[in-house]
């Protein structure tokens, strides 16, 4: 075998989304001499962050407070947040939003030129910075373009990171494949930041971009890092059936209503009413996402949904707002509905249903982004910093990318200067070992079609680890995932065996990662015998159980027969668990 | 439900290890009213031919990955629908004017370099730190550059631009629109740096005013207008041969 190409640097950032770019910039700013390699399987501005529409949280108004943001986050997270980290988080959000403004982000403004902040589900006051209905797009392009100013950041666009290189308990680089040529490249560095995003594509119905397949989580897990709180998966209640394209909360904020087959605003039947006055925060259609998704499930079970070619749906009705208001306030959604659902919201309700939106769990980190593996850092959706708890609040994750992206970038830069480097021979051996099984995929003569295996994964997860879970369904899901792992071991048969831009090959590697992540989700969910936040059971464990389960879940890799689950304490500083209440019941409570 | 409707896609194939030049391959796929051309390609990849190669990610017209020529027009594959091409066949090819890496995947590295040469980032008029708070910028001041800030870097305008086809040195529509995006931002002070790019032969003078770039842009960016605004400014600089330092930014618009 010919020698593998090697790139020596000080820090590798894997991922060019909001978190990865923020981390790379922070590292380059702190230490301009540092050689930062930014490795991403897509050109950074194609990253999934681009699709976020709503907003990014940061206290901005006189009548708001850090305590307010803290309380909303911890309550929303059903007290599974690490409160020390939340405190640090809320304290740093606003400075990050300002920093982004100074880099050129076109945040929406008031008439006098000051920043505008708006309401967003779960937040009790206006706290979300936004850039029209393209917040993530503007944030990502601002970060990407700003990154061009730092000569220390060397981009490796369209390089697929296949594995971490770990020697003697410390990270010393990554193995990547240059997608265009299919050639392996060994990046050596004493510090690696994983910023690879979430894993929503583990499910069939999801709002996520195609690249959100969980490799970062899977890579860390494969090297012994236990993934944390993986059972907490957020559904977004209003997405287009089939494609999963998101119809933002903004529609409901403007006064849009959800009705069932009979035209009834069914959310009033699930403790979210009364219906009037409308719109008002934290009630009816502006209740928390988990409650809305659960209500859909009941309506569906009761046969009160409508059938579409892409599955059952309820109706998001905007018609009463009138054409002028719809076109003025919701132009993007109008466009999306017309094109992607083939309906005009001015005259017809939009069919919507819940889809997987966000993975709360991930690689556990401390407040500096350090993971429990020497030299490894994580930020963004792939990380579990402890701020989301059992349920993420809308607009906290874009803020998280910035706050923890920066923290991880800085901490990793420091680490990179102090850590020792590995010997050449060690790196070559590690990279060669990591590469071999990946090349094997190209040689398989026998096996199943990727789309078939992926379809099976989606079926298992939707059925057994869905909006509602129960012991029997979770047992079945764990078993079925193990069986799928066996089938995968039997081989994937690729049509494409060549090296040049072989996306089928990459998809196979993504699928392996997705399956690994899915198992941690199913096993973690089974072990949590209570209901909390986004993890809701409809068996004997349908209540929150603070006595036994006010704990984080850790899914360790295990010995090959599935993850091993451990529960560890949550950090509580000043907010003790209370009931989460919404609708009339919740009015007046924090 | 009745038999789903079918449509034939004629897709351009090219594999540098195997083919001497591009060729066409036909696939027939079932489709529904909601299916985009991208979903047609995905159907082929999943069920008929896993070697068909194309870029995609967001599938909602915001990441800019999936540009290709569809029936000869530059389009985002996720933003046009099979229903509109029925009964077919519909022809899908790689974006014009770029080298092909494989099938529908083009080599976009030239554009990425251009983004850097036009300094498409904010060069602060005055140094500030987060402690100084945000700039004030009125909605009217924002409107000056806002449309240019909507560019998703999809490169449809490059495929539409005959000039870029003949002279790949030309900075091209999107890069010049992004240059103008920052020049018109009242927080920016990077004008002079960007002037060198504008006035160079590969800058605005490469443009021969075809205007097709603005027509194909899926985001209403209007790069042709950005180029024209700069031509006026560049001509003035050429004639006067000097720069009035007291002039307000944005004065050279239209
Ligand atoms: C439709 C939608 C709307 C949303 N709206 C909001 C909102 O309004 N407010 C809010 O706070 N949050 C919102 N979110 C959530 C938020 O957008 C995401 O959590 C966030 O953008 C994730 O950013 P990231 O940087 O962690 O990852 P991403 O942006 O997903 O980037 C991941 C990066 O990692 C790279 N990568 C991944 N795997 C590999 C690999 N194997 N090799 C090399 N590179 C790899 C990718 O190329 C990419 O560059 C929304 C999410 C969705 C789906
Ligand atoms: S100007 Fe328009 S067509 Fe050109 S790259 Fe930008 S968004 Fe695409
Ligand atoms: S897939 Fe993102 S623009 Fe088409």
The SS3 of residue B244 is coil
What is the predicted pLDDT for the residue at A281?
78
Residue with the bigger pLDDT between B102 and A580: it is B102
CATH architecture assignment, domain B109-243? Orthogonal Bundle (1.10)
Q: Which of A175, A237, A397, A403 to mutate to test the pocket of ligand 1 (most atoms within 8 A of CB)?
A: A397
CA angle centred on A136, ends A407 and A76, rounded to 5°: 70
| CA A312 – CA A300 distance, rounded (Å) | 7
Calculate how close chain A gets to B140, using CA atoms only, in Å: 9
In a 13 Å sphere around the CA of A240, the CA atoms on its Cβ side amount to: 22
Burial grade of B140 (CB within 10 A; 0-12, 13-18, 19 or more): exposed
- Domain spans of chain B? 6-106, 109-243
CA distance readout (Å), A119 to A58, A125, A252, A295, A589:
12, 6, 11, 23, 17
| CA B166 – CA B178 distance, rounded (Å) | 22
Give the number of the atom of ligand 3 that is nearest the alpha carbon of residue A210: 1
A243 neighbourhood in chain B, CB within 8 Å: 34, 39, 59-60
Which chain B residue has the Cα nearest residue A92? B130
CB A387 within 8 A of CB A377: no
Instruction: Flag if B59 and A243 touch (Cβ within 8 Å).
Output: yes
B131 neighbourhood in chain A, CB within 8 Å: 95
CB B205 within 8 A of CB B167: no
ipTM above 0.85, yes or no: yes
| CATH code 3.50.50.60 region(s) in chain A | 5-232+360-429
- Mean pLDDT to the nearest integer, B197-205: 79
- Which residue in B34, B39, B105 is closest to A341 by CB distance? B34
User: Which sign does the torsion angle of CA A44, A46, A47, A52 carry?
Assistant: positive
What is the predicted pLDDT for the residue at A422?
79
Model pLDDT for residues B134-175, shown as the tens digit of each residue? 999 999 999 999 999 999 999 999 999 999 999 999 999 999
Model confidence band, residue B247 (pLDDT cutoffs 50, 70, 90): very low
CA distance readout (Å), B48 to A168, A300, B179:
45, 34, 43
CATH fold, domain A5-232+360-429, is: FAD/NAD(P)-binding domain (3.50.50)
- Which residue in A104, A114, A137 is closest to B62 by CB distance? A137
| CATH code 3.90.700.10 region(s) in chain A | 235-356
Residue A585 β-bridge partners: none
- Cα of A130 vs centre of ligand 3, distance in Å, is 22
CA angle centred on B84, ends B50 and B92, rounded to 5°: 35
What is the predicted pLDDT for the residue at B199?
82
Instruction: Flag if B46 and A106 touch (Cβ within 8 Å).
Output: no
CB A180 within 8 A of CB A500: yes
Pairing of strands A311-317, A257-259: antiparallel
Instruction: Flag if B135 and A102 touch (Cβ within 8 Å).
Output: yes
Ligand 2 pocket, B151 CB below 6 A? yes
CB A24 within 8 A of CB A13: yes
Ligand 2 pocket, B152 CB below 6 A? yes
Q: Helices B223-240 and B191-199: crossing angle, nearest 10°?
A: 90
**Surface of B (38-57) touching A: CB under 8 A:** 39, 45-47, 49-51, 53-57
Calculate how close chain A gets to B240, using CA atoms only, in Å: 31
Ligand 3 pocket, B78 CB below 6 A? yes
- Which residue in B18, B45, B185 is closest to A104 by CB distance? B185
Is A236 marked active-site? yes
Residues of chain A with pLDDT under 70: 1-2, 581-590
pTM attached to this predicted model: 0.95
Q: What is the residue-averaged pLDDT of chain A? A: 94
Model pLDDT for residues B24-76, shown as the tens digit of each residue? 999 999 998 889 999 999 999 999 999 999 999 999 999 999 999 999 999 99
Q: Which of B67, B148, B181, B217 to mutate to test the pocket of ligand 2 (most atoms within 8 A of CB)?
A: B217
Q: Helices B173-183 and B191-199: crossing angle, nearest 10°?
A: 150
What is the predicted pLDDT for the residue at B240?
58
Which chain B residue has the Cα nearest residue A336? B60
Q: Which two tokens stand for residue A423?
A: 């010997």
A116 shares contact with chain B (CB less than 8 Å): no
CA distance readout (Å), A82 to A89, A233, A551:
11, 18, 10
Ligand 1 pocket, A553 CB below 6 A? no
Q: SS3 letters for A73-128?
A: HHHHCCCCCCHHHHHHHHHHHHHHHHHHHHCCCCCCECCCCCECEECCCCCCCCCE
Ligand 1 pocket, A161 CB below 6 A? yes
Is A252 marked active-site? yes
Residue B216 has pLDDT above 50, yes or no: yes
Rg (CA), chain B: 21
Structural class in CATH, domain A235-356:
alpha beta
| Ligand 2 atom 6 nearest Cα | B151
| CA A498 – CA A442 distance, rounded (Å) | 8
What is the predicted pLDDT for the residue at A65?
97
Candidates B19, B63, B83, partner chain A, best to mutate (most A CBs within 10 A): B63
Q: Which two tokens stand for residue B41?
A: 């390609």
Q: Which two tokens stand for residue A441?
A: 């995929």
Ligand 1 pocket, A204 CB below 6 A? no
Q: How many CB atoms lie within 10 A of CB A48?
A: 27
Maximum CA extent, chain A: 72
A148 shares contact with chain B (CB less than 8 Å): yes
Superfamily, domain B6-106: Beta-grasp domain (3.10.20.30)
Q: How many CB atoms lie within 10 A of CB A384?
A: 27
| CA B93 – CA B24 distance, rounded (Å) | 9
């Amino acid at each position: 075998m010919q020698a593998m190409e090697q790139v020596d640097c000080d820090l590798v950032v894997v991922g060019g989304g909001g978190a990865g770019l923020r981390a790379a910039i922070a590292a380059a700013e702190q230490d301009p001499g540092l050689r930062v390699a930014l490795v991403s399987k897509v050109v950074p501005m194609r990253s999934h962050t681009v699709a976020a529409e709503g907003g990014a949280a940061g206290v901005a108004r006189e009548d708001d407070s850090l305590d307010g943001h803290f309380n909303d986050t911890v309550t929303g997270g059903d007290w599974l947040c690490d409160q020390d980290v939340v405190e640090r988080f809320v304290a740093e959000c606003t400075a990050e939003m300002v920093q982004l403004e100074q880099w050129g982000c076109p945040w929406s403004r008031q008439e006098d030129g000051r920043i505008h902040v708006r309401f967003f589900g779960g937040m009790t006051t206006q706290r979300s910075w936004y850039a029209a209905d393209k917040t993530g797009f503007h944030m990502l392009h601002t970060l990407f373009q700003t990154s061009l100013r730092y000569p220390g950041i060397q981009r490796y666009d369209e390089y697929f990171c296949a594995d971490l290189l770990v020697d003697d308990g410390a990270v010393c680089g990554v193995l990547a494949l240059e997608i265009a040529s299919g050639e392996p490249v060994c990046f050596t560095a004493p510090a690696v930041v994983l910023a690879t995003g979430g894993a929503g594509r583990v499910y069939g119905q999801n709002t996520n971009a195609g690249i959100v397949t969980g490799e970062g989580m899977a890579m860390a897990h494969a090297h012994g890092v236990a993934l944390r709180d993986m059972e907490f998966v957020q559904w977004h209640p209003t997405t287009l059936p089939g494609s999963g394209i998101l119809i933002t909360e903004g529609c409901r904020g403007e006064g849009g209503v959800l009705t069932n087959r009979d035209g009834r605003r069914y959310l009033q039947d699930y403790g979210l009413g009364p219906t009037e006055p409308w719109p008002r925060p934290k009630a009816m259609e502006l209740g928390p996402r988990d409650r809305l998704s659960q209500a859909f499930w009941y309506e569906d079970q009761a046969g009160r949904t409508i059938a579409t070619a892409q599955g059952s749906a309820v109706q998001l009705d905007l018609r009463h707002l009138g054409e002028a208001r719809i076109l003025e306030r919701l132009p993007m959604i109008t466009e999306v509905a017309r094109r992607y659902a083939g309906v005009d919201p001015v005259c017809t309700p939009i069919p919507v249903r819940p889809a997987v939106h966000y993975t709360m769990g991930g690689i556990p980190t401390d407040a500096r982004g350090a993971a429990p593996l020497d030299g490894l850092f994580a930020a963004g959706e792939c990380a579990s910093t402890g701020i989301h708890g059992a349920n993420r609040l809308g607009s906290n994750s874009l803020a998280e990318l910035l706050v923890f992206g920066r923290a991880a970038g800085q901490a990793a830069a420091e680490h990179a200067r102090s850590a020792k480097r590995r010997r050449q021979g060690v790196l070559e051996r590690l990279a060669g070992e990591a590469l071999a099984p990946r090349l094997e995929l190209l040689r398989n003569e026998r096996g199943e079609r990727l789309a078939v295996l992926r379809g099976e994964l989606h079926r298992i997860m939707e059925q057994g680890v869905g909006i509602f879970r129960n012991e029997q369904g979770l047992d079945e899901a764990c078993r079925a995932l193990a069986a799928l792992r066996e089938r995968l071991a039997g081989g994937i048969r690729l049509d494409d065996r060549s090296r040049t831009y072989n996306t089928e090959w990459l998809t196979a590697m993504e699928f392996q990662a997705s399956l690994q992540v899915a198992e941690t989700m199913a096993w973690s969910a089974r072990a949590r015998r209570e209901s909390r936040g986004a993890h809701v059971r409809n068996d004997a464990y349908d209540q929150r159980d603070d006595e036994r389960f006010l704990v984080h879940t850790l899914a360790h890799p295990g010995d090959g027969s599935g993850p091993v689950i451990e529960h560890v304490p949550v950090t509580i500083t000043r907010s003790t668990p209370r009931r989460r209440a919404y609708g009339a019941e919740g009015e007046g409570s924090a | 439900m009745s038999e789903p409707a079918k449509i034939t896609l004629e897709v351009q194939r090219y594999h540098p290890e195997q083919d001497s030049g591009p060729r066409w391959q036909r696939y027939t796929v079932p489709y529904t009213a909601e299916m985009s051309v991208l979903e047609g390609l995905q159907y082929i990849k999943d069920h008929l031919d896993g070697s068909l190669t194309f870029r995609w990610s967001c599938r909602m017209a915001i990441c800019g990955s999936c540009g290709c020529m569809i029936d000869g027009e530059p389009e985002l594959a996720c933003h046009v629908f099979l229903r509109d091409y029925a009964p077919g066949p519909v022809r899908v090819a790689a974006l014009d004017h770029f080298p092909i890496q494989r099938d529908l995947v083009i080599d976009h590295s030239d554009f990425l370099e251009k983004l850097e040469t036009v300094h498409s980032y904010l060069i602060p008029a005055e140094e500030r730190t987060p402690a100084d708070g945000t700039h004030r910028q009125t909605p009217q001041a924002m409107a000056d550059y806002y449309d240019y800030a909507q560019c998703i870097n999809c490169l449809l305008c490059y495929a539409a631009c005959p000039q870029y086809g003949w002279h790949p040195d030309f900075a091209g529509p999107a890069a010049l629109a992004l240059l103008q995006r920052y020049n018109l931002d009242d927080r920016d002070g990077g004008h002079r740096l960007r002037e060198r790019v504008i006035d160079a032969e590969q800058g605005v003078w490469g443009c021969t005013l075809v205007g097709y770039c603005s027509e194909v842009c899926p985001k209403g960016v209007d790069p042709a207008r950005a180029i024209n605004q700069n031509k006026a400014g560049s001509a003035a600089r050429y004639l006067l041969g000097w720069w009035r330092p007291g002039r307000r930014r944005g004065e050279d618009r239209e």
